[in-house]
Amino acid sequence: MTTEVTTQPRRAAQASQKRKFMIEAIAVIAIALILIVLMPMLLTGFRLNLLGRFLALAIVALGIDLIWGFTGLLSLGHGIFFALGGYAFAMYLELNTLGEGQLPEFFGLYGVTEMPLFWQPFNSFPFTLLAIFLIPAIVAGLLGYLVFRNRIRGVYFSILTQAALVVFFNFFNGQQKLINGTNGLKTSTSMFMGQQVGSDGMRMFFYISTVIALIAMYALCRWLTSGRFGRMLVAIRDDENRVRFSGYDPTAYKVLVFAVSGAIAGVAGALYTVQSGIISPQVMDIAFSIEMVIWVAVGGRATLVGAILGAVLVNMARSLLSERFPDVWLFFQGALFLIVVTALPDGIIGWGRRQFGSAVSSTLGLAPTNLPYLDDSPEPEAVVETPEFADK
Amino acid sequence: MLEGLIGGLFNGISIGAVLLIVALGLAIVFGLMGVINLAHGELMMFGAYTTFVVQNVAKSMGGIAPEIYVFAALPLAFVVSALLGLLLERTVIRYLYGRPLETLLATWGVSLILIQLIRSISWPMVIGLVIFATLFLIGRWALTRYTDWDRISQWANPIFLGLSVAIAAVVSFLVQSSGSSQFVRPWFGAQNVDVTPPSWLRGGVAIGSALQFPYARLFIIVLTILCLVAVYWFLNGTAWGLRIRSVTQNRGMSACLGIPTERVDALTFALGSGLAGIAGFAVTLLGSVGPNLGGNYIVDAFMVVVVGGVGKLVGSIVAALVIGIVTYLVGSGTIALILPPTAFFQPAIDFFNFFATTSMAKVMVFALIIAFLQVRPAGLFPPKGRSVEL
Amino acid sequence: MVTRFNRRKFLVYGSATLGTSMLLKACGGTTTTDTGEADGGTETAAADGETIKVGILHSLSGTMAISETTVVDAEMLAIKEINAAGGVLGKQIEAVTEDGASDWPTFAEKAEKLIDQDQVAVVFGCWTSASRKAVLPVFESKNHMLWYPVQYEGQECSQNIFYTGAAPNQQIEPAVDWLLENKSKDFFLVGSDYVFPRTANTIIKEQLAAKGGNTVGEDYLPLGNTEVTPIITKIKAALPDGGVIFNSLNGDSNVAFFKQLQGAGMGPDQYPVMSVSVAEEEVRQIGTEFLTGHLASWNYFQTVETPENEKWVADFKAEFGDDRVTNDPMEAAYIMVYLWKQAVEAAGTTDIPEVRTAAYGQEMAAPEGPVTMNPNHHLSKTVRIGEVMDDGMFNILWETDGPIDPEPWNQFVPDTIGFACDWSDPAKGGKFEI
């Protein structure tokens, strides 16, 4: 497939590119309109709220796809960034609801009479908005720098992010006096722009914000992965040493992309928090962060659409299945992990492209699709790593 | 002072011994095979439940049996977990060698299934599973034998799988709704189960006025040492150990020389899983036995392996002991006590007191581990050579 | 060169994108309109049709499933009995069970589903304080009703929740008083790292300070942690000659704690442990060998001698098997279904405000003895202290003469001294100064 694309005349390829872009833009706008206009009419308030949450989770999935699908870094600690974004927004809401000089209610339970210093800046809305992006980005950047600087990668990176997750969980869980520990912060009864966050109007507002943020993040990731930067990420994934020997510095790229991914997770966390009404250290549960990875895998790695699709589908399945048969859900989820890893390594999108890809693209008059994971070899990791492993 | 030092050392070592016995199997599977086994904790859980079953049998036998059941439970826990590990390796892991990230996700899936299995396993479910296995295996055998399997496998495989699952599910549902309540209820349920060590493992030996070494801890320390010796002997003193080491060093060459690499893989994984079973037995002496048992240990165990350096048993030993001692010193607030209570040290004392609760000690230990990996990214005893990057 | 340019370009474009999305978000607010969703109000069709739907919301999976499934059993038994006796208002009760999965946001989600989607008349549910706090905003914003069966830390009095477990003054405070009188003045506080133990220990510390006891130390274990050696060392250092250990550990950690406490040679004669989260079910899981002689404080023990209790225990065992035991939260869950039924019958409807008002003053001859629902949404209950016996049951050492009235706002914590709660009087509400 690859050879066909490259040997085609350049102009034709460009035209095809342009056409592809147009089609994609139209599709995105159409989906956005469906989500914003049609869905509220079709779904009850409860289901719409669920959909909003799933879309927020789809934003995290985008972030994971960016670092895992494209860069090959499997983070098991994205719960941290998700939580940081959520806490930042929840703290602002908590303070926004209070009058002058009042303390959040939970401080009374633990005999705290003075607001801890780090709460103060969250009185300001602009600061909070920045914090939702920046705090997770900075934490991710720092963690990434410490890890990547030493060329820790592969599974070590995964295990370390998981350890970092445990650290953050214990910290947030143990510091009742600073951040209300296990109970977390509630947002439904807080005020935002003069309205209750849990009210129907506000919910609609946050739902639409989520759709818009999802599209913005999709555009960001799409832009990041389509150009030279994106090719660099894929190159790092496929052979980091060769990238280094070619004179590039993979560490900087990895730190940057990890920070971006953290920021995306932060946005998702903030939007998820206001729609679910609570942020607690439980989102830093080990299982939750691994689940995020499986959403991406189900949809299809290195296909941004796949990440969104996977997140929404898996969460929908969870919601429906656990309503009917709470026992079965774990079996189902476990099986999902196994199936995706063994039978469907390219996820739904990859499978769909294989089955129907050529038919679809020929009807639209496009060149065959360019799927990073499918192009070179069906299992790039196996091909790349087996010899290394074997002569160890 | 001396008493405090001995007590501290003993407590640190005893925490380290638990970490080590839990991490031992993991170190073998991860170090020798490059497989990230997140289901390790659940294999431990099966070892613990085996102990529970053996204990109940012993109780029903009466006499001296409840006092010595541990000696039956220990090998059985090993065997049960090893068999389960073997099954896991044959059905899932072997397709994923050389792709550590994929093994990580797959074994996580397995761990979820195992957790729910122990919660809801009951006779109807076992009947369903057996029916499924028979139908599927016999059917496939018949089809491959009598039909042009290669031609039809594309669509026949999923259909056949679905059909077997459906029949098994229907039968198990019928049994479920018709059987007596005693028959259909889960064997273990979601509850924790009670494993009581025999009376000679309860209490402890008193040394001096303030010190007491619990028998259970001493037992675990001895068990850990025995396991280490056995593993060392197996890897370095037997023919199969030699084969395992050679496959680890160079798979292709080993295969050329006639070593059955597939069997070596299966054996190694079974050995690691069996050690998880022994660890599961060991922790029943200290803590609770329930479906969530595995999750409580798995992250700590991975930390031991990572700090120790992959593929080196001695690394894991040192790492486990150091982590154990540090955990103890920080968590019990001993560091703050040792520092002289002068104004100069006051900030340091406050600092350590802040971390002197169990949950904050964990935060500190993990932070220290990340800091340590800045200095030694590949652990205490890094494997050498240019082919070690995973 | 190329890379540098690209990186700069990335930053520029990146910040532009961020800025735009922020703008979009800020502008979004003005365009949003209230869609006027017909979110089934509170007085909806729950009672229509042949059955009355009630919601049951507990963790059936996850760490808390261990405890919460037993409570579901008790609630189901009560519903079954009520249905067998003709139901409520001539209709059968239909239970809609939802799984909170030990995850607080899931609790909130499922609570919403029960209220909006299933339109239940009432919800029975929750165990941990965190899950209750997570669903509280849902019930308040929808003005619905939750019945909560577990002893808890108090400092809360919602109009939308009925609490049938003990408030601190019906469990923790009498236990501390009793220990001061009968055991020791030196207390070491051990708890799991979450809100109930933290708040309970705040109360205990204030109470000890007021009554001449000493808090010699406190420590918290993360949920699920089983390495308790550091804590045991701390206890030994703080209480070299013995004293009381006040234990509010939850779940798995209890097993590790008691096993290793015995291993360290610290028996109940020198180091009696008073537990507030260890009941018959937990004793069974920890093993009586480690617990014999230790203490617990509850409103109900399976060994309480009342005719109602004998009947209940017999019925329960007939339903769920001879080896099952009953305990305090299960009893509270069982009676809360009956109390709700009485309130509905008194009100003649399942409409929330009427049922709420009718609930005040409802009395019942419960297995634990007589109980009364107070206008502050808590029950008056008898307090008992028991000692674990060899068979895993409790020997009741002490009990109050009659039911103790609940005080949701604690009278030892400085912030809440002098406050009370009375929902029968609109002028007073959830927190007023006496």
Contact yes or no for B204 and C263 at CB 8 A:
yes
Region of poorest pLDDT, from A10-24, A51-65, C6-20, C357-371: C6-20
Confidence (pLDDT) at A388: 38
For B294, the closest chain C residue by CA position comes to C224
The answer as to whether B260 is a domain residue is yes
Answer with the residue of higher pLDDT: C294 or C252: C294
Strand partners, B193: B289
Tell me the C-alpha distance between C140 and C359, whole Å: 18
pLDDT in tens, C234-290: 898 888 888 999 999 877 788 889 988 988 888 899 999 999 989 998 888 888 888
Confidence of residue C27 (pLDDT cuts 50, 70, 90): very low
Judging by DSSP bridges, how do beta strands C92-99 and C146-148 pair with one another?
A: unpaired
Contact yes or no for C137 and A189 at CB 8 A:
yes
Confidence (pLDDT) at A382: 36
The answer as to whether B7 is a domain residue is yes
The answer as to whether B129 is a domain residue is no
Contact yes or no for A220 and C195 at CB 8 A:
no
Show residues of chain B in contact with C289, CB under 8 Å.
Answer: 196, 199, 202
Tell me the C-alpha distance between B80 and B78, whole Å: 6
Confidence (pLDDT) at B177: 78
Whole-prediction pTM: 0.84
Contact yes or no for B250 and A391 at CB 8 A:
yes
The answer as to whether B326 is a domain residue is no
Cα angle B306, B308, B309 (rounded to 5 degrees) comes to: 70
Q: Any idea of the CA torsion for B378, B380, B385, B390, to the nearest 10 degrees?
A: -30
Tell me the C-alpha distance between B148 and B131, whole Å: 25
The answer as to whether B141 is a domain residue is no
Contact yes or no for A216 and C61 at CB 8 A:
no
For testing the chain A interface, which of C35, C98, C136, C223 should be mutated: the one with the most A CBs within 10 Å? C35
pLDDT in tens, C166-211: 999 999 999 999 999 999 999 999 988 777 888 889 899 999 999 9
Identify the DSSP state of A66. Answer: I
The answer as to whether B347 is a domain residue is no
Contact yes or no for C104 and A216 at CB 8 A:
no
With b meaning 16 or more CB within 10 Å and e meaning fewer, what string describes C35-71?
eebebbebebebbeeebbbbbbbbbbbbbbbbbbbbb
pLDDT in tens, C369-411: 999 999 999 999 999 999 999 999 999 999 999 899 999 998 8
Confidence (pLDDT) at C47: 47
Confidence (pLDDT) at A9: 62
The answer as to whether B159 is a domain residue is no
Show residues of chain B in contact with A167, CB under 8 Å.
Answer: 362-363, 366-367
Residue ranges making up the domain that contains B268 = 2-121+186-289
For testing the chain B interface, which of A294, A338, A383 should be mutated: the one with the most B CBs within 10 Å? A338
Region of poorest pLDDT, from A240-244, A271-275, B154-158, C87-91: B154-158
pLDDT in tens, B10-39: 888 988 999 999 999 998 888 888 888 999
Show residues of chain B in contact with C234, CB under 8 Å.
Answer: 332-333
**Which one, of C371, C396, C374, C397, lies nearest residue C382 by Cα?**
C371
Model ipTM value: 0.83
Confidence (pLDDT) at C404: 93
Contact yes or no for B192 and C66 at CB 8 A:
yes
Contact yes or no for A338 and B109 at CB 8 A:
yes
For C227, the closest chain B residue by CA position comes to B15
Chain centroid to Cα B353, Å, comes to 33
For C323, the closest chain B residue by CA position comes to B182
Task: Count structural domains, chain B.
Answer: 1
For testing the chain A interface, which of C32, C72, C203 should be mutated: the one with the most A CBs within 10 Å? C32
Confidence of residue B384 (pLDDT cuts 50, 70, 90): low
Show residues of chain B in contact with A327, CB under 8 Å.
Answer: 116, 119-120
* Secondary structure percentages of chain C, helix, strand, coil, to 5: 45, 20, 35
Plot region of A28 (φ>0 → left; ψ -120 to 50 → alpha; else → beta): alpha
The answer as to whether B70 is a domain residue is yes
Residue C300 has pLDDT above 90, yes or no: yes
Tokens found for residue C218: 């406190």
C324 in contact with chain B, both atoms CB, cutoff 8 A:
no
Confidence (pLDDT) at A213: 94
Show residues of chain C in contact with A44, CB under 8 Å.
Answer: 37, 39, 116-117
Judging by DSSP bridges, how do beta strands C379-380 and C369-373 pair with one another?
A: antiparallel
Tell me the C-alpha distance between C179 and C173, whole Å: 10
Confidence (pLDDT) at C48: 53
Confidence of residue A366 (pLDDT cuts 50, 70, 90): low
